[in-house]
Structure 1
Amino acid sequence: MPITPVKTLVAQAKAQITSYSTQEAAARVADGTAVFVDIRDPRELKRDGKLPGALHAPRGMLEFWIDPESPYHKDWLDTDKEMIFYCASAWRSALTVKALKEMGCENIAEMEGGFSAWKKEDREIEEV
C-alpha cells in the first residue's frame, strides 16, 4: 500500500488551519496579540538565526511541551496570545498546527513561507 505523499498531507493541513502572510503575522506580533514560535531544529536556529523575539519549541517535542499533563510541559506555552508557528518553508508548521488543533489547541496559526519567506523579504533576523 503506497504512503500518502507529504505534499498531500501538507495541502490537507493547510486547508484546515489558519495561515498568515509574513506581513499579517508580523503585524499581529507587533500589536502584542501574538507571538512567534520557531519549531525548527536547534541547528537551523544556530546556523540561520530566528525571527526577533521568537520563542523556540523544537518540532519533535512540541506536543509534549504544550500538553499541561505531560512531564515535559513548558509553562511559557500557556499564553493568551495567539501562537504563530513557523519552520523553514511552512511544511512542518502546517502539520504542527493541524496536530495541535487535533489536541484541542486554539488561537494558533502558521506563517506562510516560513523563515525562508521572511528572509527573502529581507526582514530583521536575530542571531541565536
Structure 2
Amino acid sequence: MKTSVKQLVDRALEGIETISVEQARALLDDEGTVIVDIRDVRELYRDGKIPGALHAPRGMLEFWVDPESEYHRKVFSSGKKFVLYCAKSHRSALATQTLQNMGLEPVCHIDGGFLAWRDAGLEVEEVAQ
C-alpha cells in the first residue's frame, strides 16, 4: 500500500515536539537556541525569513548535521536547541523527525511554519540575492 505525504507527516508529528509561533518568538533571543530555516533559497529571497535564522536547505540538512559528513557544520554539534521551520510545517515535521532519528537533541519545529509567523505579524528579515 502506498504511503502518502500526509500520512508521513502525521506519523512524524506523533513523535516530535511542535511549538507555537509565540513560543518560537520567545526563543529568538535565547543564546541556547538556533532557529533553522530549511526552505529553498528562492523562498527566502521571495518571502524573507525569521530574523537571525540559520538557513540550512532541506536537501543538505542531514549532511550538515552528521559529524562524520564532509559537509558537517559545527553549529549542529553545539549542544543548543534547534527550532526548525519551513513554509507551512510539513517539511519541518519530517526534518525534525529525521534529525531526532540521527540523535540530534533537543530539536522541534514551529507549528504553521513561516506563514504562521508572518500571519501573526511577527518581524520578518529580508534576504538579499
- Sequence identity of aligned pairs in percent? 51
Deviation at 1:28, TM superposition (A): 2.0
- CA deviation after TM superposition for structure 1 residue 31, in Å: 3.4
What is the distance in 1 between the residues matched to 2:19 and 2:43?
22
Q: Give 5+ residue unaligned stretches, structure 2.
A: none
Separation (CA, whole Å) in 2 of partners of 1:25 and 1:79: 19
The TM-score with structure 2 as length reference comes to 0.94
Cα deviation 1:74-117 (Å, max 9, x = unaligned): 11222222000000000000000101111111110000000000
Tell me, what secondary structure is at the counterpart of 2:96?
helix
RMSD of equivalent CA atoms? 1.0
- Post-superposition Cα deviations, 1:23-78, rounded to whole Å, max 9, x if no partner, equal 01111233333121000000000111100000010000000011010011111222
Instruction: Write the mapping of 1:1-128 to structure 2, written as runs, cut at 5 A.
Output: 2-128=1-127
List structure 1 runs of 4+ shifted beyond 6 angstroms: none
| AA matched with 1:86 | Y
SS in structure 1 of the partner of residue 42 of structure 2: helix
Q: Structure 1: which 5+ residue stretches go unaligned?
A: none
Distance 2:35 2:10 in 1: 22
Q: Structure 1 length normalisation: TM-score?
A: 0.95
3-state DSSP of counterpart to 2:36: strand
- Mapped to 1, the partners of 2:61 and 2:2 lie a distance apart of 24
